[in-house]
Every structure is written in structure tokens, then in C-alpha cells.
């Protein structure tokens, strides 16, 4: 997966076109999870999880987007938060990123 492809999906999620379905959000999550699994270090995996969560957080807080879109982002944030917390606990890594 090339980084610009993830950027394109991020942009599409943040600006929601009326023709888009929530499956686009699900696909972006799948891409992010693949990138996280392929990461070679714990800090790289952590950055992927945080990037996903922050993208959905920003999208969820945008009142110009549809309620359906924002609610789906909220549900994804809840799932990703649980997944990332489980990952951090299993890998015994601190929750904060090093400066």
C-alpha cells in the first residue's frame, strides 16, 4: 500500500461526498489494519492506530458532514480504541508516544 493511497482515503473520509457509502470508512480501516500488521516496530504500529483514530475523531466532529457518516466514525473509534488498547497491553508498550 502506497502512502498516497491512504492519504486519498483519508481525504475522502473527511470531506464525504453524497455518493459515498460508509463502506469507504470500513475499507480505510482495513487498509490501516494491514499497514499496522506490516509495521516493523511498535512505535510505527502505534502511529498507524493513532492516525486512524485521529482521522475519525476529526471527521466525527465536523458538523457539515451527515449524521450517519459521523455516527459510523464514532462506532469505528470505539472499536479501534479497544483494539489499540489491547495491542498496547499485549506488547507492554507505553500509551504515550515518545517525544
The predicted structure's pLDDT at residue 94: 60
The predicted structure's pLDDT at residue 84: 76
3 confidence band (pLDDT: 50, 70, 90) = low
pLDDT tens, residue by residue, 17-60: 777 888 999 999 999 989 988 988 888 888 888 899 999 999 99
Give which of 58, 60, 62, 68 is closest to 18, Cα–Cα. 68
pTM of model > 0.85:
no
- The residue ranges of every structural domain in the chain are 3-90
Amino acid at each position: 500500500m502506497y502512502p498516497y493511497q491512504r492519504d486519498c482515503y483519508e481525504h475522502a473520509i473527511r470531506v464525504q461526498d453524497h455518493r459515498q457509502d460508509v463502506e469507504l470508512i470500513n475499507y480505510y480501516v482495513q487498509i490501516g489494519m494491514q499497514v499496522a500488521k506490516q509495521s516493523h516496530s511498535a512505535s510505527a504500529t502505534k502511529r498507524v492506530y493513532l492516525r486512524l483514530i485521529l482521522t475519525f475523531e476529526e471527521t466525527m466532529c465536523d458538523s457539515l458532514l451527515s449524521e450517519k457518516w459521523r455516527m459510523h466514525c464514532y462506532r469505528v473509534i470505539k472499536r479501534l480504541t479497544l483494539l489499540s488498547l489491547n495491542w498496547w497491553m499485549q506488547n507492554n508498550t507505553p500509551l504515550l508516544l515518545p517525544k
